[in-house]
Amino acid sequence: MITHTSYAVEPWVLRERGLHLDVLPQSESVFALSNGHVGWRGNLDEGEPHGLPGSYLNGVHELHPLPYAEAGYGYPESGQTVINVTNGKIIRLLVDDEPFDLRYGRLRSHERVLDLRTGLLTRTCEWTSPAGTTVRVRSTRLVSFTQRAIAAVAYEVEAVDGPARIVVQSELVANEQLPGRDGDPRTAIVLESPLEAEEHFAKSGRLRLVHRTRRSGLRVGAAADHVVSGPEPTTTESEATADLARLTVASALGQGERLRVEKFVSYGWSGTRSLPAISDQVDAALAAATSVGWSGLAAEQRKFLDEFWARSDVEVDGDEQIQQAVRFALFHVLQAGARAEQRAIPAKGLTGSGYDGHAFWDTEMFVLPLLTYTSPDSVAEALRWRQNTLPAARERAVQLGLRGAAFPWRTIEGSEGSAYWPAGTAAFHVNADIADAVVRYTAATGDDSFERDTGVELLVETARLWRSLGHHDHHGTFHIDGVTGPDEYSAVADDNTYTNLMARANLLAAADAVERHPRRAEELGVDEEESAAWRDAAEAMYVPYNQELGVHEQHAGFTRYQRWNFAATRPDQYPLLLHFPYFDLYRKQVVKQADLVLAMYTCSPFFDAEHKARNFAYYEPLTVRDSSLSACCQAVMAAETGHLALAYDYLHEAALMDLQDLEHNTRDGLHIASLAGTWMALVAGFGGLRHHGGRIEFAPRLPERFGRLAFTLELLGGRLRVEIGRTSATYTLVTGKPLTIHHHGGPVTLDPDKPHTRDIPPLKPRPAPDQPPHRRPNHPAATEG
């Protein structure tokens, strides 16, 4: 995408000059607007041409039966798929009876700009109709951060070279026709006409449609209101049918005259509220939006983002692409989670229907770390969603013969949505990932009430799962067998190191939490014997290690497997899962995505520096990065083990995953975790941030290309500013109580507004590790010109 001649590299905006249909689906994803509750893909205002129409409400889904060749106990029965809800974006235009369709006539100019500071998507174009009439169209779109049910469009038409008869049709459209699947299992299952009409209304510029999903039984309402201004006479007319509500505006413009339509759209949904209640809800949200008007919504949006950037911006000197990419990443991760409010944060956010709109473990391990240090309130809400889904997780655990809670591998509403149990059910590490997010949030915020009311319950139920899933052998060592770690090319293995270490941390955190909150522990039925059993299991946890090679094994026996034949694998055979049977992948040394390498980051204190270096060198030649989650993890550990140039290359791959469409599926939505991984690679990689056991550490080092890296973290109610140069780093506690951090192992006590500068020690040189053939990271030289 960004290498296309239409796209420019700028620090605060994503700009597209011209309109190129070959990248239209991808542009709809990168120009998507969302607040975590409502999502609008960046479709053209007139609706056509399009790649994938998309209007989403977080949590609104349809059910469908999961196919199985053979029945089996414990298989999930229903899958969940995000659906395209009522489209409120559409504003059609007719110029002297000619539809404004950019595939016809002459497009003189076309520009779209996503401004990351204002949160506005602006489109400006000049078009001459087949009949020769020229108009200038300007539209500005927002999805409100401050009024979560609201999206809005300001649409303006100007007659350029003479008079023009103008008709604008502003619509609410349900059950839009969607493109078919392309065979890629990552693409959403398309459900045809998932909405059944319940109510339609149109009067005096006010529109409303209410529908109900056929299987999941969710009621969805959408309403719109308009402010119209134009020369006299300008007329309006409203109409509505089951799946369409429309306001038609007609005006005759003289040369230089303009017609402006401001459109406010509200959304609401529920699985329990009545039809009148949903209608009232969307009408009330609409009244609140129209009371402040378009300029008020835009001002609220700018203020919200000013506050966000003040606490979250990352500054990179020396690489304009990364500067743009990290701000693009921060903006879209914010959009994914800002107003999710006890709903999931899907892998694609609300930018597309990829992965069926499901949330995975990457929410807790990639997205929430960024939000913890930039927008912590959204993290608390995301974890409360997990708490709300505990009944389904407990039920799943019982079904599997386990105690506690078995959280789903992929889900929208809390039940397991994966039909492939080796990569789904067996990936129990999602439970420890949730616990890790609880511990991280509590340590970073000091939010004791959250820990008491939400955190303890999540820690207890996940700890109970590990104690019942694992077992002590006759030596007393604790094992967790038959699980799948982050690497989905190694399924149903014994003693996955990542899983075991994360479970170990989960068990200890739960034991510590119930000691701090004895009354809550009593409510949850935890006694001293159970807490002691968690500590026993944690202290006896087995971590497989190959003494001969001097490396930790990804899982027990992994290093004795035959290595994958990389030399015989063609470049066009990646990702491997689409060209080779899982059976073959499972029994070879080949790694889809960082697993043991990720464990060295998330469980950093367990590994010493030499083991990290040897482990990284061993697993690099095996890791093919057939997942967008891998590059950022490898960037972090490459930086820590002294391979700064390699870390820089991995940073570029993570940062440009969508801006360059590296996995060729950006059309289905953005890779929110990889976007968050851009921040991770910079802050945890080159900044060296680690936060374990209440200890905050930095070990900064910059790659050759960077002249300076600066970022801000929210910590314990205060704000810490970190500025890293070539030879030194400066730490400033902007606000908050005195704080002790560690710089390359040495303590630094910070007082407010008193910068402390520390030298960066020299780097110990190490031989550069190899990568599999054809799988070297995306090198910046290939993207610059």
**d(Cα 53, Cα 346) in Å, to the nearest integer?**
18
**d(Cα 216, Cα 343) in Å, to the nearest integer?**
16
Q: Which residue reads 């402010």 in tokens?
A: 227
Residues 6+ apart with CB under 8 A from 654: 628, 631, 632, 635, 674, 677, 678, 680, 681
* CA 280-283-289 angle, 5° bins: 140
Q: How far is CA 55 from CA 433, 478, 565, 637, 657, in A?
A: 30, 48, 44, 38, 23
Q: How many CA atoms lie within 13 A of 65 on its CB side?
A: 4
Q: How far is CA 317 from CA 592, 710, 726, 743, 777, in A?
A: 33, 9, 11, 22, 22
Among candidate residues 166, 158, 172, 154, the one with its CA nearest the CA of residue 263: 154
* CA 272-273-274 angle, 5° bins: 120
DSSP state letters, 399-410 = HTT-SS----SS
b/e map 307-326, b = 16+ CB within 10 Å: ebbeebbbebeebebbbbbb
Residues 386/434, Cβ–Cβ less than 8 Å: yes
**d(Cα 641, Cα 679) in Å, to the nearest integer?**
19
457 among known catalytic residues: no
Q: How far is CA 178 from CA 255, 267, 352, 521, in A?
A: 39, 21, 12, 50
Residue 49: other Cβ atoms inside 10 A = 13
Instruction: Identify the three-state secondary structure at position 673.
Output: helix
Among candidate residues 86, 91, 14, the one with its CA nearest the CA of residue 54: 86
**d(Cα 622, Cα 593) in Å, to the nearest integer?**
10
Residues 138/122, Cβ–Cβ less than 8 Å: yes
**φ/ψ of residue 638, rounded to 5:** -65, -40
Annotated catalytic residue within 381, 488, 620, 663: 488
**d(Cα 9, Cα 325) in Å, to the nearest integer?**
9
The tokens describing 74, both together, are 């414990």
**φ/ψ of residue 171, rounded to 5:** -130, 155
Burial of 71 (0-12, 13-18, 19+ CB in 10 A): exposed
* CA 717-719-720 angle, 5° bins: 135
Among candidate residues 589, 564, 621, 553, the one with its CA nearest the CA of residue 771: 621
Rg (CA), the chain: 27
Residues 316/709, Cβ–Cβ less than 8 Å: yes
**d(Cα 509, Cα 83) in Å, to the nearest integer?**
38
* Active site residue ranges: 488
